[in-house]
Amino acid sequence: MKLRKVQFVILMMLVFVQYISFAQTNKESETIYFQEDFNGWTNIEAEGWYTYSPVGWNYISPQDDAINFFKQDPADYMMLISPEIDFTNINLLEFIYKAGSSVDNKKLEVGVMTDPTDPSTFEIINIITVEGFEWMSDEASTPLDAVTGMKHLVFNISASSPIYTIIDIDSVVLSDEGAASDWPNYISNLEIVPEDLGVNSAMLSWTNPDTEADGDPLTELAL
């Protein structure tokens, strides 16, 4: 009987270790499908990106470690357009931006388009309001679950932004992280207490997680 009790405890510990291994493996399963760090390009087009602005004195240019939008005229479009990307498995966009002027109510539109030469194909996914603080850096994310197929990622300073809007963009990442970490986090406080000698059983107790692997709240847990 004592041997069976020891075997049972060992079996339960192996199950627990296997659970931890599964959680660790899947927590790190984020796949990066597209990534761009802007590092002072001398020619944006040479890297496969496009730009579009109908007014010559609005421009998009490379900085030391970013792409810089500088808008001096309320034109409808000032677009930075990526190479064509397959969005089939992509559902999250993350990037860093920096506000370079004290002008209020700056708008950065994030979206996709099918033809980089035709602004009418631009579809807005998210509008980010950039507060008017001098050189204030921040991070932004945009869910892309509804975007599928071959498209171009677009950053646009729109007509709703005032003149002398200055915004830098850097560290663009497209991944599947938004859906890749929605399983429960680790359990905690696991305890296995064998019954008295001669009783072929043990008492197990633990605390269920209250977050998902990526830190989001866990709203449902089935046992």
CA atoms of 175 and 92, how far apart (whole Å): 5
The pTM score is: 0.68
On whether the CB atoms of residues 49 and 80 are closer than 8 A, the answer is yes
Q: Which of 14-23, 44-53, 84-93, 182-191 has the lowest mean pLDDT?
A: 14-23
Statement: residue 174 has pLDDT above 70: yes
Task: Please report, as a single letter, which amino acid is at residue 112.
Answer: V
Domains of the chain: 2-29+181-207 (no CATH), 32-179 (2.60.120.200)
Statement: residue 213 has pLDDT above 90: no
pLDDT in tens, 30-73: 789 999 998 877 777 778 999 988 888 888 988 888 999 998 88
- Structure tokens, 93: 């966009």
Instruction: Using pLDDT thresholds of 50, 70 and 90, give the confidence band for residue 24.
Output: very low
